[in-house]
């Protein structure tokens, strides 16, 4: 795993300033943790990143992440981004986003299940 990480790091010089967060993001990307679920035919997308505690829901355009680090540190102005959003940027850049197609009928149940996971993770990080 760490050799792969170093190899990928060579392609990501502009992200070096993120330090440990970059290592964590690269490991997440290498583990296939960045998933884009695309709902068809609408083309609506739900992007999740599997972190150390579980699934986080992200919106890179806003940007937004459901993790508590984003809420407290990024929105609080202490950090520029969280490692989930960083993972998505790296996965997009290196072509390692795991894209999964769904039908539009599955959107509701999918979102409900994902949000359920997110709440579970929030519960863990609060405890």
**What residue ranges bind Zn ion (CB under 5 A)?**
65, 67, 70, 82, 84
Report the residue number, 30 or 82, with the smaller CB distance to Zn ion: 82
- End-to-end Cα separation, the chain, in angstroms: 30
CB of 88 to Zn ion, least distance (A): 10
Nearer to Zn ion, 38 or 63 (CB): 63
Per DSSP, the residues of 87-109 read HHHHHHHHT--EEEEEEGGGHHH
Query: Shortest gap between Cβ of 80 and Zn ion (angstroms)?
Result: 12
For helices 20-30 and 2-9, the axis angle rounded to 10 degrees is 110
Choice between 98 and 106, CB closer to Zn ion: 98
> Least distance to Zn ion from the beta carbon of 101, Å?
25
């Amino acid at each position: 795993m760490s050799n792969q990480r170093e190899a990928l790091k060579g392609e990501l010089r502009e992200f070096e300033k993120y330090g440990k967060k970059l290592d964590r993001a690269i490991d997440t990307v290498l583990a296939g943790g960045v998933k884009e679920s695309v709902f068809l035919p609408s083309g609506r997308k739900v992007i999740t990143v599997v972190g150390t505690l579980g699934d986080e829901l992200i919106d890179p355009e806003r940007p937004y992440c459901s993790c508590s680090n984003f809420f407290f540190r990024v929105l609080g102005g202490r950090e520029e981004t969280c490692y989930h959003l960083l993972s998505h940027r790296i996965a997009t850049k290196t072509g390692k986003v795991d894209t999964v197609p769904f039908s539009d009928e599955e959107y509701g149940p999918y979102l409900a299940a994902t949000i359920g996971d997110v709440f579970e993770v929030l519960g863990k990080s609060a405890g």
